Structure 1
Amino acid sequence: MSFYRSKISFNNQRNIPLVIVIEPWGEDYSLMPGEQLELLAYGRNGTPWFHVVEWDDSSQVYCEDADSFKVVQQNVELKCGHNRQEVWDG
């Protein structure tokens, strides 16, 4: 079975951490200033697409038509909660 794939990249140029929340899964990944990550979404029935909602300190990314996803930083897959404690300790 072949999958369709889409990719979006986030680069935090703020002076504060940026939290990326992936919907509808509700998983979060925090980017420290100067960091970047990529979100890859996979769909079985068509090409996934993204709807991004920006807030002061976070971005909600809605993965439309996606069945699964993964988040990578420098070719390493990240787990939900990446850098979360550093943001809370701020």
Structure 2
Amino acid sequence: MTEKNFVFECILGDVISGFIKEKRAVGYKYTKASSLLKQFDTLATKQDLIDVKLPKEMVLLWTEKRPNETVSTRNGRISITKYGKHTLRHI
């Protein structure tokens, strides 16, 4: 998978971009997660996120099981919103 630089449009766009740059600066390719974060950016844009924080409702919407989705795919989305200093919940 090649490294892709996405343009993030939601209010968290600069934070997400900085987060990805930081991960890559310390040696991670961070390609799959970057793609997931772009999907999150699309959701946040559609949901008109206006604050630089993650409302519980958006996290629940982001992490809910989707039709025909594998557990692994869902867990990938969940993992970038968990608490911890290296995740979006740190915003």
Same fold (TM over 0.5): no
Q: Which has the higher helix share?
A: 2
**Greater RCO between the two (CA within 8 Å, min separation 6)?**
1
Q: Which has the higher strand share?
A: 1
| Length-normalised TM-score, structure 2 | 0.26
| Length-normalised TM-score, structure 1 | 0.26
